[in-house]
Amino acid sequence: MKTHSVLLLLVTFAFAASAQPVPRGPGPAPEPRVAARGPHHRVWEYVVWEVDPYGELSPRTNNFTELATGMHVNLGGEWREASSDIAITATGARAAHAQHSMEFLGNFRAPSGAVTITTPEGQVLRTSVLGISYQDASGKAIFVAETKDSNGVD
């Protein structure tokens, strides 16, 4: 009986050693990469390797589109990540890494336009901040606060 068990064990090992392993894809999940960008979207793509019915590995490309308003800014013909960063300047502050760039004077009450907005088409809009008001759904409004002359500080 021991002889048959040892013989069966040897045959099993020999058969297992000669058998071809079934191909498998890579272990960890694939990392998505950005395949395309636009002003309000980003297309992510990744490849998954699958075993077909014949035991061969074949790639399958998957993608999905991420949407967000103002996601990218066009710099020199190339879409780059937009940012809400505001940098301090000699006259106030500037936000230049979004689709609309903005400049703020240090004094919001300045009569010449404390806030300058430049659209992606190059249109320049200027405004000043007079104060803060609140209006409810019925149309009743209240003036909460008025701006005062001041210099912005870092």
Which of 77, 92, 108 lies at the terminal end of a domain, its last residue?
77
pLDDT per position as a tens digit, 26-37: 457 788 999 999
Same domain, 87 and 139: yes
Taking 70 as the pLDDT cut, the residues of the chain under it are 1-27, 152-154
Whether residue 10 is contained in a domain is answered as no
Domain extent for 97: 83-146
Query: Tell me, what's the pLDDT at 154?
Result: 56
Whether residue 17 is contained in a domain is answered as no
Mean pLDDT taken over the chain: 81
Predicted TM-score of the model (pTM)? 0.59
Whether residue 88 is contained in a domain is answered as yes
Query: Tell me, what's the pLDDT at 80?
Result: 93
> How many angstroms separate the Cα of 118 from the Cα of each of 5, 51, 94, 128, 136?
85, 53, 11, 15, 31
Residue 103 exposed, middle or buried by CB count within 10 Å (0-12, 13-18, 19+): buried
Whether residue 114 is contained in a domain is answered as yes
What are the backbone angles phi and psi of residue 148, rounded to the nearest 5°? -120, 155
Same domain, 35 and 71: yes
Domain count along the chain: 2
Same domain, 43 and 91: no
Query: Tell me, what's the pLDDT at 9?
Result: 39
Same domain, 36 and 51: yes
Same domain, 87 and 69: no
Whether residue 102 is contained in a domain is answered as yes
Whether residue 113 is contained in a domain is answered as yes
Query: Tell me, what's the pLDDT at 27?
Result: 58
Same domain, 51 and 87: no
- What whole-number distance in Å separates Cα of residue 115 and Cα of residue 109? 10
